[in-house]
Structure 1
């Protein structure tokens, strides 16, 4: 019976490819792919792993275990550079059966450099490399020739191990090595520096001169980071401004066996001190070009500027197929996200030039693209292309493209429904995540910032973890957070890597600092990997025990200003922290929550004394919070949507009566706001969940479907293709928000997609790693059908539903796919008659469920708050 269940190739730790695994005993995982003929209720009870190691005979290991995610390495430890092949099969069935599955395909694995002594190379730089205090470093090239005689035998294996202070691109015999962008990526360079491993066996010529070349640029290591004048040389002796390519200085054969015209220009490289940081082969996927987007329109502005519109706000760079022009002629490409008054809207870029330039040489330039920069853009203003005779070809839609770049994570989650604007909202969330997972999780990809704000990823992580496999990217970033935190008395910096100490002193902040606890927890829930919690434990404990600045009651010091519910829609353009919900209350609610969470974490990892201590602290802090902010009725001192949502979602109510009072007041506030958003960074991810938890999902649907500003759908009515930083980044008249801090690509407010996945789509984990999961779809609003998929650690989950109109309501029909070795806990919507029962627990397989729904209360009406009535308009919720 198990033969119809197939396995994907096994994976190693959370490594993206298997080339350069940084463990001598990597844990193994395998996912199941289930055919329609596969048996239901299939569970694994044992497994067999087979390995071919070097030139040794195959070895196998059989283990009696139901685990298929991150199981222990079953063989002897591996050595640096060792190569092996692994395959696996599982044994199991229904009711204790133990039939084998088919063997998985073979998976290749190669170990990285496990010891520092494996590194024989030295760090080198150009002999003319600028010294300390130089404001900008021009990219330079390095070149080395070598021969491999055929007398040494045929080349079977050849690897290039490389890294840089800055960003680099390797070449071998005139061709690119690898397809990576902005290597080695951005880490906290004082502590950790990534290196790359490239397979170059097919690029080496035997019995001929080979040329290994590198181009190296500042990147994040020494380039300007931060706004205003920025800060240069953060880690050593430019991404924001763009790149200038001077074709008159080009030597086409510089990295080939023979150079032309520049033979005398090479000087001996200079040896410099090597990295003191730990050298790592990263588990996280590198930044790559993942998509090519063609332009949709070329237009002319009122001032006569030429604009190329790609139809999608994206992150990456341009590619020009072919261009030629008179020597010395310059063509400029200015990138921006929006148009304002039919001209390029560059004010939100602040001090970032975002301009790439080509200086022509008189010869054709083919497949040009900038190498060491990236931009956030939908529109590109091109100057100098059609303004002079001799530039060819003429600018057209078929000669230019946008290359989309981001950390090359695997897509795991999808969502779709019958409401086209909500589908666009979800697409916008995905595009914003793609653009802002660029080596690290950043806040924005376009202006003079592009840095890893802790608060942004803290609120977005549950959404991001569903959409993509983020485990290796965020686990790496959390290691940097912990390293930076050690230098600050337990206080996580506001951004990681920390490049803003020249702007912000060491000031502890709730929500942002709480990423030290909540983001590892979210990764654990997504992956089931307890090791993430263990490795981050000292960081978590340091934050709560030493970093938090407390008052006499154990809550936050009230004298400390908090960022709080950042970007409340009523906050003035230049005062984004002026929220309706008091910042101290937000901070205290989070402190109760993270203390309770850390008690749970410490119990899971076996730190029982700390678990008891944090549990007692959480109870004491909860009592202090209730005494300080909560009336006996359940109402709160801060009578806002964010405050009530925090108390509901964080479980601060002792009884159902108080919870109902809070839910009723939250609904009242939503109706008084005419269903428009009244929350910022903190309230936005949870307000719809709070309404759902108190039985008011129809109110949540009504808020979701609102179109007037501020709302989730308002930006879409304004043509948005990504999530905006502010609810009104663009005003209804088409002008850009007057505040200095305005971005059109920020994922934080897109955290609402978590509600789409869990409530509209209906699936969420019950157990860490999705070994068991809830299926609780809740139809509402005008949505008539929805579907969601998720590539869980066990296999693909699919859930879809549709409504069939009946005389007295709707019939709800749903289908579900549960992967092998996992189970689903199903609760149908509120029913009158159910064919499958109101709740079911099922194992693997395909299922169908149906029930009859009572007629819902729709449309909902707002509470009038003015003497002069406003026109709500049906268009607001359809």
Structure 2
């Protein structure tokens, strides 16, 4: 049997999970490789496009590019379906087999929509709106070759056709800036419709983010409108056979209310499983009310929908000191509960209260603030399979009242989030650090429900721009966030334009009270996050689409000192928010000068926008922003740094920012040489860390970079000691108190079992989990050298008491992996053994302590490596360029003991 050395493991259209109903007429294509070839690279590729009305066309391109390549054929038209196939030609003459997918356009023009929004009777606007159902019937053609449902809502929907729920989404269509973008989904009904017969299409409609209560301090309703509505149409073989309009009817059902923050009330006595079939009576159904078509653009989002990704069984049934029954699911997560067994007949009403923690043995609900997070079920009908429809909660514990004897097999927890592909995995020999990484993953899952949020439990759950700005590099490794963040950034720009250039602190923007706040770190998301996405996925379109947003922020959003061009020193800044030394009642009162943080970010953002301009061909802007960044740097040094290199705000955060952002004066400025500045900053940072007893002293701005800064400054031993510190504040101290997610504060739970008295006390915040970036790139040893991981750096830097680690990442080109372990030979000489895997069509730089050979071809096993790869103790640290092609390699080299620190 012939073994094919390289294959295409996945062909993808843009960043879509499934390319059904895409929003691009000329979609770009990508493919990943797999295989066991050595030194394999792509020399050319062919794309074969087969359209329904013509034979296939084959397009050959001489290129090594396999990520987001240009569409080679005529643009797609609305609802057009084409077959796309790809194969690659290796520089060694090998050819991969063809791999294909079907790509189908959505409704690309507004005139393709004949449906109008439909709603129920008017409901009071100052209280929760009761979810309602709408339905219609239509006769399907005798032949239904291709049937599609296009659907969205002003609010939330759940569609049923002929008694069958369509799709597996939760909280659809998600939260967008409804005044500008309204996301629709496309579903295949080809196997659902009954040809030649009457078919029933219906939907539940809830208030959701559109009209429901959102935000803190009691919140506010009707942020986008007062009347939730459905917009849907069914198209069969190119003809609209059913569309929402005045001929539809509506009725209420068993769901009495369903709020995002407060929970749901369900009356099982009113349940009717036949409501979306022809068997139900419609005598009580009333005509719907038509609304005007929305002004917002109807878009097909590249973000994956919110789905169930896991279920959890309780691990303990607790009777609290007050006699309450509490189920412990063993893991803090975001989602809901599902009843899997019928409650006893004597139950009349059951309530489920959700919370993240117990406080002195009772449910700890104070951090929820004004979110009730309570579901109520009225018994009398079947409850097997019941789960709330239009709400979610952040919780580990559920207090159950009204169900005596509830146990392990009665209820499960349903984990939901925007179901991005999991791409990054890390583990090591240190159990607590493994738990730390798991906590980061769980907080990421919990805070990616439709948008990147701060927390999933209390009366907030907002898309804070600062949180995702600092966390994006970590998210981009853990999950394929390309479509998720690309879609969210579109809303950032439209909401920013509505504020004249200022970037809202939350997107979608509902916080009117914050519109006058112009915040560095938060507003810099417009520049830094698109560039982080480009670095991870090599998507230049993200840079082009968001470039105007970044320019608008720097030129209209930033409030500047007219003399220096730096931030106006009178401007309020949050900067290093939630630094540990800030008091609970004043989380923005951080030790680091807030304007210094803002100015460091301004320099970094200006320089980064110059890089973006260069990538997309805006060369004049590139030169201008580069020169501006250097002028700002000069002003920064005049303001904050002494001639001998002492920073006026002498803190971990200030020094880390300068080191990571590379903020140094020009060599001919008359000040210290940049390398001397870097040396002094690094030495001082090490002293400060040691002085603080290796406890974390940084907030939002400093925490994501502090360990990276220490490693970059040659203070790796300090980085590892800080990482492994167990004293609060540290990354491991919450774990020792039982944390299963990342906390908002290092001491969200106090050592005596009391909840921190501060108002900002969440037990599920991913921001401080940005430390996982250090685990991925320094401990695990994987990072991109070129955008999209076309060129990879493999440089594990062991330290602390960690004796082994494994890091893998499913990059746009394929699987990258580094596995290392420390071993001792018979002579008690410590060795570092490294096993690596690099996908075909990429090149890796392997940098190891003691690797002295620089021109070694990849070999399939350790036994084939030359003896010179096992050098003498303390051999110099060098790097080697290596193009693998998928074969696992093992290198051994002596390990200098001083890097343990």
Helix, strand or coil for the counterpart of 1:828?
strand
Q: Using the alignment, how far apart are the partners of 1:805 and 1:719 within structure 2? A: 35
Of the three residues 307, 315, 322, the one matched with 1:303 is 322
Matched, 1:116 2:135: no
Partner of 1:843: 883
Question: Which of residues 780, 792, 802 in structure 2 aligns to 1:783?
Answer: 802
Of residues 688, 697, 700, the one that matches 1:669 is 688
The corresponding residue for 1:710 is: 729
Match in the other structure for 1:504: 514
Q: Describe how 1:298-447 pairs up with structure 2 within 5 A.
A: 298-324=317-343, 329-361=348-380, 363-386=381-404, 394-447=405-458
Alignment correspondent of 1:854: 896
Alpha-carbon offset, residue 209 of structure 1: 3.0
1:8 Cα deviation after fit: 2.2
1:468 has 2:479 as partner:
yes
Residue 87 of structure 1: how far off its partner (Å): 1.4
- Check conservation: 1:325, 1:364, Cα contact below 8 A: no
Distance 1:854 1:169 in 2: 60
- Please give the alpha-carbon distance, in whole angstroms, between the structure 2 residues aligned to 1:138 and 1:328: 24
Equivalent in the alignment of 1:686 = 705
TM-superposed CA distance for 1:130, in Å, is: 1.9
Are residue 100 (structure 1) and residue 100 (structure 2) matched? no
Q: CA deviation at 1:405?
A: 0.2
Contact persistence 1:376–1:435 (CA under 8 A): yes
Which residue of 2 is the match for residue 799 of structure 1?
Answer: 818
1:322: Cα distance to partner?
A: 2.9
Distance in 2 (alpha carbons) for counterparts of 1:232 and 1:403: 27
- Are the counterparts in 2 of residues 777 and 829 from structure 1 also a CA contact under 8 Å? no
- Give distance in 1, aligned partners of 2:383 and 2:713: 63
1: CA distance, partners of 2:326 / 2:765: 24
2-structure distance, mates of 1:144, 1:153: 19
Instruction: Report the equivalent of 2:523.
Output: 513
The residue aligned with 1:200 is 189
SS at match of 1:100: coil
> Which of 738, 754, 762 is 1:719 aligned to?
738
CA displacement, residues 152-177 of structure 1 (integer Å, 9 cap, x when unaligned): 43322211111110001000111111
Structure 2 equivalent of residue 863 of structure 1: none
Equivalence for 2:622: 611
Offset of residue 831 of structure 1: 6.9
Secondary structure of the 1:617 match is helix
Separation in 2 of the partners of 1:324 and 1:841?
A: 64
1:625-680 CA distances to partner (integer Å, 9 max, x unpaired)?
Answer: 11111122322101110011011111123432222221111111111111111111
Aligned to 1:243: 264
> Aligned ranges for residues 755-834 of structure 1 at < 5 Å?
755-805=774-824, 810-829=830-849, 834=869
In 2, the alpha carbon distance for the partners of 1:324 and 1:686 equals 51
Match of residue 127 from structure 2? 135
1:577 aligns with 2:588: yes
Task: Tell me the secondary structure at the aligned position of residue 507 of structure 1.
Answer: coil
For the residue of structure 2 that corresponds to 1:666, the secondary structure is helix
In the TM superposition, what are the counterparts of 1:54-93 in structure 2 within 5 Å? 54=52, 56-93=54-91
Which stretch shifts more, 408-417 or 823-832? 823-832
Deviation at 1:327, TM superposition (A): 9.0
CA distance in 2 between counterparts of 1:136 and 1:462 reads 38
| 8 Å contact kept, 2:161–2:200 | yes
Given candidates 171, 187, 191, the residue that maps to 1:182 is: 171
Secondary structure of 1:98's match? coil
Q: Secondary structure at the match of 1:3?
A: coil
Aligned equivalents of 2:197 and 2:533: distance in 1?
50
Change (3 A) 1:834 1:98: closer
Distance 1:87 1:240, change over 3 A: same
In 1, Cα distance between equivalents of 2:606 and 2:587: 28
Distance 2:90 2:645 in 1: 51
Q: Say if 1:23 and 1:111, in contact at 8 Å, map to a contact too.
A: yes
Contact 2:29 2:70 in 1 (8 A): yes
Post-superposition Cα deviations, 1:35-63, rounded to whole Å, max 9, x if no partner, equal 3xx2x111111111112222532221111
Deviations 1:287-340 (A, max 9, x none): 001111111111100001000000000111000013245699210000000000
> What's the offset of the Cα at 1:253?
1.8
* Offset, 1:343: 0.3
Q: In structure 1, what is the Cα distance between the partners aligned to 2:391 and 2:31?
A: 37
**Cα deviations by residue, 1:50-106 (Å, 9 ceiling, x for unpaired):** 12222532221111111111111111111111112211110013xxx33312222x2
Task: Give 1:9 shift.
Answer: 3.5
Q: Which residue of the other structure, out of 117, 122, 146, is the alignment partner of 2:138?
A: 146
In structure 1, what is the Cα distance between the partners aligned to 2:411 and 2:344?
Answer: 16
SS of structure 2 residue aligned to 1:429: helix
Shift of 1:820: 0.8
* Structure 2: distance between partners of 1:515 and 1:58: 43
1:582-623 Cα offsets, whole Å, 9 max, x none, are: 101100110111111111111111111111111111010001
Aligned-residue offset at 1:134: 3.6
Shift of residue 360, structure 1, vs aligned partner: 1.0
Deviation at 1:546, TM superposition (A): 1.0
- Cα deviation 1:463-492 (Å, max 9, x = unaligned): 000000001110111110000111112111
1:293 equivalent in structure 2: 312
CA contact 2:126–2:221 (8 Å) conserved in 1: no
Does 2:552 align with 1:542? yes
Conserved? CA contact 1:2–1:100, under 8 Å: no
What CA distance in whole angstroms lies between the structure 1 residues aligned with 2:658 and 2:843? Answer: 31
SS at match of 2:895: strand
Whole-angstrom distance in 1 between the partners of 2:16 and 2:899: 49
The separation in 2 between residues aligned to 1:420 and 1:55, in whole angstroms, is: 59
The range that moved more, 206-215 or 21-30, is 206-215
Separation in structure 1 between the aligned mates of residue 640 and residue 656 of structure 2, nearest angstrom: 14
Question: 1:448 is matched with which residue: 444, 447, 459?
Answer: 459
The count of aligned residue pairs is 836
Query: How many angstroms does 1:398 deviate by?
Result: 1.1
- Inter-partner Cα distance in structure 1 for 2:382 and 2:520: 56
Deviations 1:267-300 (A, max 9, x none): 0111111111000111110000111111111110
Within 2, Cα distance between the matches of 1:205 and 1:639?
A: 72
- What are the residue-to-residue correspondences of 1:16-27 with 2, within 5 Å? 16-27=17-28
CA distance in structure 2 between the partners assigned to 1:601 and 1:629 by the alignment: 28
Deviations 1:836-878 (A, max 9, x none): 88210011233222211222376x6xxxxxxxxxxxxxxxxxx
What is the distance in 1 between the residues matched to 2:842 and 2:651? Answer: 40
Contact (CA 8 Å) 2:573, 2:595: kept in 1 or not? Answer: yes
Hey, what does 2:7 align to over in structure 1? 6
Q: Which residue of 2 aligns with 1:389?
A: none
CA distance in 1, matches of 2:831, 2:14: 45
**Cα distance, 1:117 vs structure 2:** 0.7
1:144-293 correspondence to structure 2 within 5 Å: 144-148=136-140, 152-237=141-226, 238-259=259-280, 263-293=282-312
The alpha-carbon distance between structure 1 residues 787 and 812, as it changes in their structure 2 partners (threshold 3 A), is same
Task: Kindly state the Cα deviation for residue 399 of structure 1 after the two structures are TM-superposed.
Answer: 1.6
Note if contact 1:172-1:203 (Cα within 8 Å) is conserved in structure 2. yes
Change (3 A) 1:550 1:722: same
Deviation at 1:460, TM superposition (A): 0.2
